[in-house]
Structure 1
Amino acid sequence: MITTYIKNTNWYRVLLMFAGNVFLSMGVAIFKLSSLGNDPFNGMVMGLSDCLGMAYANFLVIINLLIFVVEIIFGRHLIGWGTIVNAFINGYMATFFYNTFSAAIPASQMWQRVLCVLIGVVVCSFGLSMYQGSDVGVAPYDALSLIMNKRLHIPYFWCRMSNDVVCALICFFSGGIVGLGTIVCAFGLGPVIHFFDDYFTNKILQKPIFAQR
């Protein structure tokens, strides 16, 4: 079964997904550099990892493993290469980019921090467009809303919103940062992702090499 799956994999789509996750990790790092908040899920992980004295990337793997169990039980069809990369590699890539950027990019003044938020939106959206558009697996946290939508018959929007609100609250009460970056992620990512879908990702996916899924 595994051999057949590997044989039938479109590695061009996997490459597109991996590139998307690289940009997504870069965007997470830029948001963190702003000190104005991250997306609700990563903000929650950062807040809890600081409380527990654990490295962000290591704690992210633990959280993803827990949610991955739910995905295996209720959403096995959503699992693919994108699941593995997003769940178990992104945290380490984000840490690498943050360490690199924090040593080279000043972000002490408010205008610099706001600029980081704006750049983070663009970079994250570009990465998410490629990662989601490649259609080779869904990250555990993203899968959670899809599973709730299918099992509970609740519109996807409300499933995602409720999960994000819970994460934001946990982030806040664990001492994490809920701020401009969090708000921009909640309301700004969607339109920018749609822009990159229309003008980049969908055009790339129309090429014959990406036809097989």
Structure 2
Amino acid sequence: MKNNRVLLKRYVSMVLGVFIISIGIALFKESHLGNDPISALNMRIAEIFGIPYGFQNLLCNILFFLIQFIFGRKYIGAGTFVNGILLGYIVSFFYAILLRNFGPAEEHGLIIQIVWAAVAVVVTSLGVSLYQTADLGIAPYDYLSLGLRDKTKKHYFACRMFTDGICALGTFLTGGLVGIGTLISAFGLGPVVHFFDTHVSEKLIGYTPEGEKEEEARDALKG
């Protein structure tokens, strides 16, 4: 019974995490100081081809999912599909609300833009923490760095820097916005995510991926 409650909490937290991450990305976009590298690239590609961002994000995730399906099936779960299919559309929905109610942040000066970006850091980090702690599958783009780590045996941080760097470079070369928000998303969210892991997500869900592995190891020993 306890395991069922924890599993339900994990699913709720995963879905909630995707929604909160989407709000965070919309806040970064509202700041006009740059988004996380993959979102920035998808936004730019959507602008170039004149298609909705949500649809472009879905197309991109389908491509990445094919790679994940071939090389990293163990990382596929419900969270893979919820994130891969819905995130872009949720971002567009919340950004439209922000734009309608507050207008472009750059019209109000750099201080206001920084405030939006700071709020975006907190919101996005909370969403990432809930999503990752739920441990119900890796988003297709996030798999790329994990898969690269598995294949090359390099440190995860280096692999993540490589995939994010490629996306940031692609955004820059196609005339998209690469700014302080991009750098914060790529390198600065980690400590804030860790804070939410420890003080919010793990306590709220009552579960950690590491704890699950330890319990499985104990059960194996008993068996």
Task: Name the TM-score, length of structure 2 as normaliser.
Answer: 0.87
The answer to whether the 8 Å contact 2:13/2:205 transfers is no
Unpaired runs of at least 5, structure 2: 214-223
Answer yes or no: is the 8 Å Cα contact 2:78–2:137 preserved in 1.
yes
Query: How much identity, in percent, do the aligned residues show?
Result: 40
Matched, 1:23 2:20: yes
Structure 1 unaligned blocks of 5 or more: 1-6
- 1:191 and 2:188 matched: no
Q: Does 1:173 align with 2:170?
A: no
Q: CA deviation at 1:80?
A: 0.7
Structure 1 vs Structure 2 CA RMSD:
1.8
Alpha-carbon contact 1:172-1:178 (below 8 Å) kept? yes
Q: Are the equivalent residues in 2 in contact too, given 1:43–1:178 (CA < 8 A)? A: yes
- 1:125 is matched with 125
In structure 2, C-alpha distance between the alignment counterparts of 1:104 and 1:212, rounded to whole Å: 44
Q: Is the 8 A contact 1:47 1:171 kept in 2?
A: yes
**Equivalent position SS for 2:28:** helix
Separation in 2, partners of 1:46, 1:153: 32
Residue pairs, 1:22-171, within 5 angstroms: 22-106=19-103, 107=105, 108=107, 109-171=109-171
CA–CA distance in structure 1, aligned partners of residues 60 and 206 of structure 2: 35
Task: Return the alpha-carbon distance in structure 2 between the equivalents of residues 52 and 62 of structure 1.
Answer: 13
CA distance in 2, matches of 1:71, 1:88: 15
- Aligned partners of 1:187 and 1:135: how far apart in 2? 22
Distance 1:110 1:102 in 2: 17
Indicate the SS of the match to 1:10.
Answer: helix
SS in 1 for 2:35: coil
Report the AA paired with residue 77 of structure 1.
Answer: K
Return the offset for 1:212.
7.9
- From the CA coordinates, give the structure whose radius of gyration is larger: 2
| 1:186 to partner: Cα distance | 2.0
Given that 1:10 and 1:212 are in contact with CA atoms closer than 8 Å, whether structure 2 keeps it comes out as no
* Corresponding residue pairs, total: 203
For residue 34 of structure 2, give the secondary structure of its aligned residue in structure 1. Answer: coil
Return structure 1 stretches of 4+ with deviation > 3 angstroms: none
**Between 98-107 and 84-93, the greater mean CA deviation after superposition:** 98-107
Residue deviations 1:153-188, cap 9 Å, x none? Answer: 121111110000000000111111001111111222
| Kept in 1: contact 2:77–2:136 (CA 8 A) | yes
| 1:191 Cα deviation after fit | 0.6
Q: What is the deviation of 1:10?
A: 2.4
Q: Which residue of 2 aligns with 1:3?
A: none
- SS of match in other structure, 1:186: helix
> How many angstroms apart in 2 are the aligned matches of 1:84 and 1:11?
17
Provide the rounded CA distance (Å) in 1 between the counterparts of 2:74 and 2:38: 23
- Which AA in structure 2 matches 1:41? I
